[in-house]
Chains A and B, each alone.
Chain A
């Protein structure tokens, strides 16, 4: 058999095994007294290469099966995770989980997903082009990347590449059945620059693919070049009025607090500032969508963690709340419908605006924040921390800067958005975002 045929055969065999196992566990759960049960299982083979500094010192292959179960009995819930497939151990796990559930608090909103139609498998999710890869391919790609890291002031910390071939199955006692085969490659770089005087902050880059294994040479060169821009940092002597948040800093800075207030659990606990759909909560330039079927997103999936179908939707519609992030439980507690976002979002995109990045960067003296390290209170929006790997731009001249503290309140800063770039960047498959220019951020 070819490598592709071997791997495909392995996946098919594992899928059948997981189906049988999950069905068996549902039966056991019912026998032991559960009213409702959800079983999720996954089996994966991972090949991974790790290079530390310039040293190729570790290669590995692991295989693991993980089973998770969630049981409801008399509207009381408990859950478990194990890595055994032994029937007797599984029965003991189910018994123990039910015993624990008896002592949980009763919650009349506990519910599992109803049976629903089969969902369409995403066409890009398990490609032969990846199934044929081997550890040898990862090793060669890693070593080739390493050969491009040759600058005397560049210090690579870590380079990792991996290939994950897996099978996922979910079933519940309402008859819902889901399965998915997937293969994905990931890569990650960490490094910094140092000369005789100065050591920079660690910088990171990473990526993935559902569909192809491209040489990492361009990424490696670009990463080294990017890191080296941090040489000879200057202390900030003149405080800019404007701050440009790059897409890399956006998840900490903006996206996480926004998602916090859209989260069904936060809504249920009456901590969300944005409980009302249709309410205008952000400037009209902010438009955020969920795109769970796009191959550019690492977590692209056709079903959410409850097993419900995912679908493209708008979360923030030009500043107005369009959709909250609900699972079956929070939806029932708030008497609304689940939004196919349990465990999500899976393909988050903040859309671009009207301004060219060139204009945003060069109109006025600006601090560009590449990475933010600090604390943001999502409830209040207060933040305080350090701008890392950051620089100023003044009349086209880019100057890296040393540690600079920034603070303020995000929601107040959002009221004063000065610009949103047309250009958006996908950050390692996690989300996509434009650059955002803000004032009202304190710099010291």
Chain B
């Protein structure tokens, strides 16, 4: 396929990018002994982009014949030509030269995950569900969901990218709904990686996941709600990951910066405390991160992008187009979810660097506050305003963890919260690999970091207004 696509590109004039993308997305969901879903999906096609007179034209085809790909190239050229007709006086610089990936990559576990029969996976998912459901009479419903995203991408561009990338990204979720008298609560544990089925099952979040999830749901039945207010909060790695991704990461995506996000015009200014160094990295040392990519969907080699360095905003996240406009280098953040999606600027694996403080020491220094754990998803905004849910909190009084508190909502202005960070723990974890980022299309990402201590607004059921 690689040589086939290269031959086609070689016959074309101007800038042409072909992306072969074969995607398997399989899922199994078991609830109350019922197989609610046993679904396999296979989509395969070629995405085509051309860049003419500074404008992009895009097309796609699921027909892998040479004629069909050439027709798609023609359609993409027509689309770009339409734009040129509408904007005849629009002059843009050609795309800057960049290091492009030439080679092959297969993520560990790529073959293994496909060789394990679906029935073995169904059996394991059913077993986990049953273990959770039977953990206690207070467990009303348990569910276990497994998903695997297995992809083969080949990216060939007329200026030299020749990437052949195979990845497998499995994810497992366990959820328990507990009920006792008039009280109800929900808890879940989840993990997602790039890797194999067996690696996933050995993820720390999933060891004894059934028992842990059931126990948490039952413990939360009696837990009170938090009182709203601004407090000293220690965020767990999962929530640090959410903060990095949602509250900061999106505001520094160059398309959003261009539109006027809060990060616009703030390069080389102090936007966070000196404890904060934030990095987005497609190919970190730990290859099992859920968003591992040796190159992006433009064939740009991924390298660590230091977004924030000791509190100073140092870089935005770019694709080749925005990098050209901003007169800088692309950062390997151009991604498309399927062959029929156009690439756009997306994060990969976003994390804070660890610090110097021990977690117990951080807790001991808080007269009153919270340790927030268990992420519940969230969103952030152009102005850095964010909100996300946390599964549960531990109240801290006089330097000690006391009682468990039910799920709450955390919010604030991202840069203000980062400026308030006064301690960062030594140990660090990736803990956001089980979900997707949505920005018109999905993207598999990961995020995490150490525990951090900061000031945040917590919303609960009882307000201090």
Contacts of B384 in A (CB 8 A): 199
Query: What is the number of residues of chain A that contact chain B, defined by CB distance less than 8 Å?
Result: 77
Q: Is B309 an interface residue (CB 8 A)?
A: no
CA gap between A408 and B228 in the complex, in Å: 11
B115: Cβ under 8 A from any A Cβ: no
- Closest CB in chain A relative to B23 CB, distance in Å: 10
Which 6 pairs from chain A and chain B are nearest by CB?
A155-B260, A103-B119, A60-B58, A199-B383, A104-B35, A384-B409
Among B34, B58, B225, B256, chain A packs the most CB atoms within 10 A around the CB of B34
Query: Does the CB pair A79–B37 fall under 8 Å?
Result: yes
**6 more CB-based (< 8 A) A-B contacts, given A199-B260, A199-B382:** A66-B43, A135-B79, A200-B382, A373-B379, A375-B377, A386-B409
Q: Are B382 and A386 in contact (CB under 8 A)?
A: no
Given contacts A81-B39, A83-B44, contact A374 B258 (CB under 8 A): no
User: When the two chains form their complex, are residues A405 and B82 in contact, meaning their CB atoms are under 8 A apart?
Assistant: no
- On whether the beta carbons of A52 and B382 are closer than 8 Å, the reply is no
- Within B373-407, which residues are at the interface with A (CB < 8 Å)? 376-377, 379, 381-385, 387, 389, 407
Write the residues of chain A forming the contact surface with B, with a CB cutoff of 8 angstroms: 50, 52-53, 55-66, 76-84, 93, 96-97, 99-105, 107, 135-136, 139-140, 143, 155-158, 191-192, 194, 198-202, 239, 265, 269-271, 373-375, 377, 379-380, 382, 384-386, 388, 403, 405-409, 442-444
Q: List 11 A-B contacts (CB under 8 A).
A: A56-B83, A60-B59, A65-B62, A81-B43, A107-B35, A136-B82, A139-B82, A373-B387, A377-B407, A379-B186, A388-B385
B260 with A58: CB separation less than 8 A:
no
Chain B residue numbers with a CB within 8 Å of A105 are 30, 33-35, 126
- Give A142's nearest chain B residue, CB to CB: B86
B435 CB to nearest A CB, Å: 14
A58-B342, A79-B39, A104-B122 are contacts. A442–B76 as well, Cβ < 8 Å?
Answer: no
Given known pairs A384-B460, A403-B413, the reply for A77 and B38 (CB within 8 Å) is: yes
CA distance in complex: A209, B33 (Å)? 43
CB–CB A84/B119 < 8 A: no
The B41-67 residues at the A interface (CB cut-off 8 A) are 41-45, 55-62
Interface size of B by Cβ–Cβ distance < 8 Å? Answer: 82
Roughly how many angstroms separate A140 CA and B32 CA in the complex, as a whole number? 54
**Interface positions of B (Cβ within 8 A of A):** 30-45, 55-62, 75-76, 78-80, 82-83, 85-87, 90, 118-119, 122-123, 126, 140-141, 177, 184, 186, 225, 228-229, 255-256, 258-262, 321, 340, 342, 376-377, 379, 381-385, 387, 389, 407-409, 411-413, 457, 459-465
Within 8 Å by CB of A191, from B75, B141, B259, B340, lies B259
**Given A58-B342, A61-B79, A384-B459, A84:B259 Cβ within 8 A:** no
A64/B62 in contact, CB under 8 A: yes
Q: Which residues of A contact B141 (CB under 8 A)?
A: 269, 271
Cα A178 to Cα B255 in complex, Å, equals 43
A408 to B464, alpha carbons, bound, how many Å? 13
Residue of B31, B59, B118, B377 near A103 (CB, 8 A) is B118
For residue B411, which residues in chain A have a CB less than 8 angstroms away from its CB? 385-386, 403, 405
Q: Which one of A79, A155, A156, A271 lies within 8 Å of B140 (CB-CB)?
A: A271
CA distance A384 to B30 in the complex (A): 29
Smallest CB–CB gap between B151 and chain A, Å? 15
Q: How far is the CA of A442 from the CA of B462 in the complex (A)?
A: 7
> In the complex, what distance in Å separates the CA atom of A239 from the CA atom of B463?
11
**Which residues of A lie under 8 Å from residue B463 when comparing CB positions?**
405, 407, 442-444
Say whether A64 contacts B55, CB under 8 Å.
Answer: no
What chain B residues lie within 8 Å of A104 (beta carbons)?
35, 38, 122
CA distance in complex: A56, B261 (Å)? 19
B383's nearest neighbour on chain A, judged by CB, is A199
Q: From known contacts A58-B342, A100-B118, infer whether A201 and B381 are also in contact, taking CB-CB under 8 Å.
A: yes
C-alpha gap A55/B92 in the complex (Å): 11
Q: Do B82 and A59 touch (CB < 8 A)?
A: yes
Is B228 within 8 A of A199, CB to CB?
no
Scoring A84, A96, A103, A192 by chain B CB atoms within 10 A of each residue's CB, the highest score goes to A103
Cβ-neighbour of A57 out of B36, B45, B56, B383 (below 8 A):
B56
Closest to B58 in A: A60
Bound Cα distance from A58 to B343, whole angstroms:
11
Chain B residues whose CB sits within 8 angstroms of the CB of A107 once the complex forms? 34-35
B30 & A239 in contact (Cβ 8 Å cutoff): no
Question: Which residues of the partner chain A approach B140 to less than 8 Å between Cβ atoms?
Answer: 270-271
Complexed CA–CA distance, A107 and B37 (Å):
12
Q: B35 contacts A77, CB within 8 Å?
A: yes
Q: Which of A62, A139, A201, A388 contacts B83 (CB 8 A)?
A: A139
**Contact A100 B82, beta carbon cutoff 8 Å:** no
Q: Could you say which of B38, B44, B408, B459 contacts A444, with CB atoms under 8 Å apart?
A: B459
**What distance in Å separates the Cβ of A126 from its nearest Cβ neighbour in chain B?**
22
Q: Are B37 and A157 in contact (CB under 8 A)?
A: no
Known contacts A374-B459, A407-B460, A444-B463; is-contact A96 B40 (Cβ 8 Å):
yes
Contacts of A388 in B (CB 8 A): 381, 385
Residue of B whose beta carbon sits closest to that of A107: B34
In the complex, chain A residues whose CB is within 8 Å of the CB of B413 = 403
Contact call B383/A192, Cβ cutoff below 8 A: yes
A80–B27 CA distance with the chains assembled, in angstroms: 10
Give CA–CA (A83, B118) in the complex, Å: 21
A407 near B461: Cβ-Cβ < 8 Å: yes
Cβ B259 vs Cβ A52 within 8 A: yes
Are B382 and A59 touching (Cβ within 8 A)?
no
**Complex Cα distance A444/B461, Å?**
11
Closest-CB distance, A99 to chain B (whole angstroms): 7
Within 8 Å CB of B31, what residues of A? Answer: 269
Known interface pairs A59-B82, A60-B57, A442-B462; A199-B261 also in contact (CB < 8 Å): yes
CB nearest to B228 among chain A residues = A444
| Cross-interface CB contact of A64 among B38, B340, B462, cutoff 8 Å | B340
Q: Whose C-beta in chain B lies nearest to the C-beta of A238? A: B465
A375 & B389 in contact (Cβ 8 Å cutoff) = yes
Chain A residue numbers with a CB within 8 Å of B228 are 405, 407, 442, 444
Say whether B462 contacts A202, CB under 8 Å: no
In the complex, what's the smallest C-beta–C-beta distance from B454 to chain A, in angstroms? 16
Contact B259 A57 (CB under 8 A): no
Residues of A within 8 A of B34 (CB): 105, 107
Q: Which of B41, B75, B460 contacts A82 (CB 8 A)?
A: B41
Q: Are B385's CB and A62's CB within 8 A?
A: no
Minimum distance in angstroms from B299 CB to a CB of chain A = 18
Residues of B within 8 A of A194 (CB): 260, 382-383
Contact status A63-B61, CB under 8 Å = yes
Residues in A with CB closer than 8 Å to B38 are 77-79, 100-101, 103-104
User: Is B383 a contact partner of A200 (Cβ separation < 8 A)?
Assistant: yes
Which B residues touch A78, using CB under 8 A? 38-40
**B43 and A83 contact, CB distance less than 8 A:** yes
Write out the residue numbers on chain B whose beta carbons fall within 8 Å of the beta carbon of A66. 43
**Do B409 and A407 have beta carbons less than 8 Å apart?**
yes
CB distance from B133 to the nearest CB of A (A): 12
A183 to B389, CA, bound (A): 39
Taking the closest CB of chain B, its distance from the CB of A149, in whole angstroms, is 11
Q: In the complex, are the beta carbons of B44 and A52 less than 8 A apart? A: no
Task: Report the separation of the CA atoms of residues A202 and B385 in the bound assembly, to the nearest whole angstrom.
Answer: 10
Contact B62 A192 (CB under 8 A): no
